[in-house]
Amino acid sequence: MTKEETRKNFLQKRKTLSEAEFQQLNLQLYHQFFTQLDLSFIKCIHVFLPIEGKREPDTWPIIDRIRREFPHVRISIPRVVESELENIYFEGLHQLKKNKWEILEPQQGVPTPSIKIDLVLVPLLAFDRFGNRVGYGKGFYDKFLSQCRTDCKKIGISIFQPIEKMEDVNSFDIKLTGCLTPTEFFQF
């Protein structure tokens, strides 16, 4: 399947989930995150804020638990500046406002240098068994991930299982090092 076909297919699959199914999948992703990922050596984690209208996995419970139980971990969240992601340390809900795509993002705060980030939770629509992902096609995360350290973990979060293979991967696509689903953790 091409990226465009995959994008359309998985956006539609998200829409067909009932609210109860969606909530259950998010709860399972939350448990997988804290079961599968060791945060003891993580100093800074980048977490995307979910686009509710696109039914992205809900990262808010993960953010909340990290803030409560892992005080040594700093959380960084993205905002779009022109055609790039800028990362800002998360201080609290007071710094957030919706942008033109209806995504909450920080309006102010201390910038997070990409080199300081140890783990990135990567939004995606779908992924394949080789660590390739499909997002919304704007390239924000591929640009950002290319600026991260080589040892930075790039972990996708997917409501669905992987497809077999992405047909039209290119040299600008940055592979994931792992992907969480509600039932398992894939490592690449």
pLDDT given at position 53: 86
pLDDT in tens, 118-142: 999 999 999 999 999 999 888 899 9
Residue in this structure with the two tokens 């892992």, named with its chain if needed: 70
Identify the band that residue 100 occupies on the pLDDT scale cut at 50, 70 and 90: confident
Mean pLDDT of the chain: 94
Q: Name the β-bridge partners of 51.
A: none
Residue range(s) defining the domain that contains residue 152: 3-75+117-187
pLDDT in tens, 70-86: 999 999 999 998 888 99
Question: Is 103 a member of any domain?
Answer: no
User: Quick one: which H or E segment has residue 5?
Assistant: helix 3-16
Task: Check pLDDT > 90 for residue 63.
Answer: yes
Question: Is 80 a member of any domain?
Answer: no
In 3D space, the residue among 188, 183, 178, 66 whose CA is nearest the CA of residue 124 turns out to be 178
Question: Is 100 a member of any domain?
Answer: no
- pTM score, two decimals? 0.93
Question: Is 109 a member of any domain?
Answer: no
Question: Is 181 a member of any domain?
Answer: yes
Question: Is 94 a member of any domain?
Answer: no
DSSP string, 92-148: -GGGEEE-TTS-EEESS-PBPPGGG-SEEEEP-SEEBTTS-EE-SSS-HHHHHHHTS
Identify the band that residue 188 occupies on the pLDDT scale cut at 50, 70 and 90: very high
Question: Is 180 a member of any domain?
Answer: yes
pLDDT given at position 170: 84
Question: Is 84 a member of any domain?
Answer: no
pLDDT given at position 83: 83
**Residue 46 and residue 153: Cα distance in Å, rounded?**
10
**Residue 134 and residue 6: Cα distance in Å, rounded?**
7
Task: Check pLDDT > 90 for residue 114.
Answer: yes
- Number of structural domains found in the chain: 1
pLDDT given at position 137: 81
pLDDT given at position 136: 87
Q: What is the CATH number of the domain that holds 140?
A: 3.40.50.10420
Identify the band that residue 22 occupies on the pLDDT scale cut at 50, 70 and 90: very high
Q: 161 by DSSP, 3-state: which?
A: coil
